[in-house]
Amino acid sequence: QVQLVESGGGLVQAGGSLRLSCAASGRIFSPNVMGWYRQAPGKQRELVATITSDGSTNYADSVKGRFTISRDNAKNTVYLQLSSLKPEDTAVYYCRFTARTTWGRNDDYWGQGTQVTVSS
């Protein structure tokens, strides 16, 4: 069992910045991948960024150069720095934890989501 607690969402003006945090607790298997996804009203959930245990990152094209994902393995926490925000970034942002365990089993957990609203 892994629990994910997200924080840092809020209301910000276009061009502003926010920092999201997601702390994982419980049975943490390694290696693992932690990441951020987002879902806007009426749209499907989409990948924003991921980061592996060894620091390899992956970003959606729409956020490259504006968002930065990082992690602190000692704290089992992943961060997302959102900069140069645009109204189209408005969405609920979800943290995700995935890992292989044993005997072909996999862990896949999601956080509760945190609202990011960007005003024009």
pLDDT at residue 98, as a whole number: 97
* Sequential pLDDT tens for the chain (120 residues): 899 999 999 999 999 999 999 999 999 999 999 999 999 999 999 999 999 999 999 999 999 999 999 999 999 999 999 999 999 999 999 999 999 988 889 999 999 999 999 999
Dist CA 102 CA 83 (whole Å): 38
Dist CA 72 CA 70 (whole Å): 7
> Cβ(4)–Cβ(24) under 8 Å?
yes
pLDDT at residue 37, as a whole number: 98
> Cβ(52)–Cβ(70) under 8 Å?
no
pLDDT at residue 46, as a whole number: 98
pLDDT at residue 91, as a whole number: 98
pLDDT at residue 3, as a whole number: 97
